[in-house]
Amino acid sequence: MTDTSKIKEHMEVVGSCGKPVGVVDRVAGLSIKLTKNGPEARGSHHYIPVDWVDRVDQKVHLSKPCADAQMEWQGHPVEAGEYIPEEK
Separation of CA 81 from chain center: 18
Distance CA 40, CA 1 (A): 26
| pTM given for the model | 0.84
Confidence of residue 16 (pLDDT cuts 50, 70, 90): very high
pLDDT value, residue 88: 44
Domain ranges of the chain: 4-72
Q: Give the whole-number percent of the chain exceeding pLDDT 70.
A: 88
Q: Does domain 4-72 have CATH number 2.30.30.240?
A: yes
| Secondary element (H or E) of residue 69 | helix 66-72
| pLDDT of 24 higher than 70 | yes
Distance CA 35, CA 42 (A): 10
